[in-house]
Structure 1
Amino acid sequence: MLRKVANWLVPNYCICCQNPLIENQAICQYCFDELSLFDPSQGNLLNQPDICRDFKLDNITRLMACGWYEGQLKSWLSGYKFHHQTRYQAALQQVIIHQWTQYLLNEHTAPDIAVLMPLHTSRLVNRGFNQVNQTWQSCINPYLSSKISLLRTHNTKAQSNLTGIQRRKNTRYAFQVKDSMAGLRVAIVDDVITTGATMGAAAQACLDAGALQVDAIATALTPLHR
């Protein structure tokens, strides 16, 4: 009842078309259906030859992502990550919850634990928040461990202007795992995977800590060769 009164007093509008929304969401069903997202029924995206070829994820068992880093998804991610425009957070969360739920229905096997792709302490202080945690929290909370975490031990340089080879050198020894991951199926959650260098380095740290397998989960994949 209180939510209905609140929606009547302060109507909620679709972030795409600006039409009023009855439910407490950010995107209306029509606009959501128009988004260019991966079909979760495809399951492991590494089974697609073009994705397997373009992203260097040799130590990753399964890859799940919501869509390509373009269009609305790119606008919302960059707007939230670099400018903290919080109106995009709800839209991203709506997409993530839908895609993750459908993915699990098709894959049947959830990870034992999930870890967030960490920011180095200095970058976290400068930005003020970890955008991966803010957008994925409601989905991965059941898989987070209070004892096991992935740490970024080196403050690597920004990678936006680096080549794939430079990215791999930049992140090779950037991560460390707190506690053992022996026998666990681990999922690493990030916002955008560009070449796979950062994810690959993080996955190797998990495998070195005893992980049985490592899955990669991302909001978006950068379309390098499309």
Structure 2
Amino acid sequence: MSLLRYLADALFPSHCHLCQSHLSHDKGICQFCLSDFPFISLEQPNLLFQPDIARLFNLPHCHGLMACAWYQGDLKRWLSEFKFTKQSHYQTAINAVIATQLAHFKSTSTFSPDIYIILPLHKNRFIYRGFNQVAQTWLSHLPHTKVSTNTLIRINATKAQSDLNLKQRKQNVKRAFEVKQNLQGKKVAIIDDVITTGSTINAAAKACYTAGAEEIWAYATALTPLHSQSVTKK
């Protein structure tokens, strides 16, 4: 260990965000807690083939779905605090969850994207927030030669989806995205942090499909469970 790292650990020790034990690394979660983390099972790698999950999300323009965990408990708190209050120390824990589930997915699935697309923010929201939380948590886990940051553009400044019901969500993101390159025959993965009804990711997938994409998967850090959707979908 370098002297600089030793001093940093001494002055600012890392702790597991779950059990609070001291960490000798900055991954945010200890191996014991990570092994017990409530990941969504990938026994069937395509979650759209799991009936209970397929019933929750309307993704007609997606061929597949991969997600890490449900949007609840500790992961919900980490994502919310990171996204809305910029508490960046939660990013390490989110990164650990993504890295673990993505490695599992790659070992069980035959889907290999030609291009990874981070779901973009509209430029006005990006300026207001100062960062894209999806890019911050996912980019380090993706092959940089396959990541595109300018293929999918959000052309409309839509309202926050969290304030809308299902019908309003669909209308809000209708024609919100535009694809700036030919995706003919490409396998595409579109990545978001949280999928609640699927309206946003499906609108993005539709734009990619129109541009010629052959196979489109949605990747998400978290899926909103049914009991949290009940009020939103009314």
TM-score by length of 1: 0.94
Query: How big is the shift at 1:7?
Result: 6.2
Whole-angstrom CA distance in 1 between matches of 2:134 and 2:5: 30
Q: Could you say which residue in structure 2 is the equivalent of 1:26?
A: 28
Q: Could you say which residue in structure 2 is the equivalent of 1:64?
A: 66
Runs of 5+ consecutive residues of structure 1 not aligned to the other structure: none
Whole-angstrom CA distance in 2 between matches of 1:8 and 1:80: 22
**Does the Cα contact within 8 Å between 1:175 and 1:201 map onto a contact in 2?**
yes
Whole-angstrom CA distance in 1 between matches of 2:9 and 2:138: 29
Q: Following superposition, which runs of at least 4 residues in structure 1 exceed 6 angstroms of deviation? A: none
The one-letter code matched in structure 1 to 2:84 is F
Whole-angstrom CA distance in 2 between matches of 1:109 and 1:201: 21
Deviation per CA, 1:148-170: give whole Å up to 9, x if none.
51100000111112111111111
Query: How big is the shift at 1:58?
Result: 1.1
SS at match of 2:193: strand
Deviation per CA, 1:109-161: give whole Å up to 9, x if none.
31110101110000000000000000001112432136x51100000111112
Q: Could you say which residue in structure 1 is the equivalent of 2:18?
A: 16
SS at match of 2:205: helix
Q: Could you say which residue in structure 1 is the equivalent of 2:6?
A: 5
Q: Could you say which residue in structure 2 is the equivalent of 1:46?
A: 48
Which of 90, 93, 117 aligns to 1:91? It is: 93
Deviation per CA, 1:68-95: give whole Å up to 9, x if none.
0000110000000000100100100011
Work out whether 1:190 is the aligned partner of 2:192. yes
Deviation per CA, 1:169-216: give whole Å up to 9, x if none.
111100001111111000000000000000110000000011001100
Query: How big is the shift at 1:8?
Result: 5.0
**Does the Cα contact within 8 Å between 2:122 and 2:155 map onto a contact in 1?**
yes
Work out whether 1:144 is the aligned partner of 2:144. no
Query: How big is the shift at 1:108?
Result: 2.9
Whole-angstrom CA distance in 2 between matches of 1:8 and 1:63: 38
Whole-angstrom CA distance in 2 between matches of 1:189 and 1:92: 14
SS at match of 2:59: coil
Matched residues, number: 225
Matches within 5 A, 1:116-135: 116-135=118-137
Deviation per CA, 1:11-63: give whole Å up to 9, x if none.
32111221111233211122223321112333010011111111000111110
SS at match of 2:60: coil
Query: How big is the shift at 1:225?
Result: 4.2
Query: How big is the shift at 1:4?
Result: 6.1
Whole-angstrom CA distance in 2 between matches of 1:42 and 1:79: 31
Work out whether 1:216 is the aligned partner of 2:224. no
TM-score by length of 2: 0.91
Q: Could you say which residue in structure 2 is the equivalent of 1:204?
A: 206
**Does the Cα contact within 8 Å between 2:118 and 2:148 map onto a contact in 1?**
no
SS at match of 1:40: coil
Whole-angstrom CA distance in 1 between matches of 2:34 and 2:84: 24
SS at match of 1:160: helix
Runs of 5+ consecutive residues of structure 2 not aligned to the other structure: 229-234
Q: Could you say which residue in structure 1 is the equivalent of 2:167?
A: 165
Distance of aligned partners of 1:180 and 1:28 in 2 relative to their CA distance in 1, 3 Å threshold = same
The one-letter code matched in structure 1 to 2:102 is W
The one-letter code matched in structure 2 to 1:110 is S
The one-letter code matched in structure 2 to 1:5 is Y
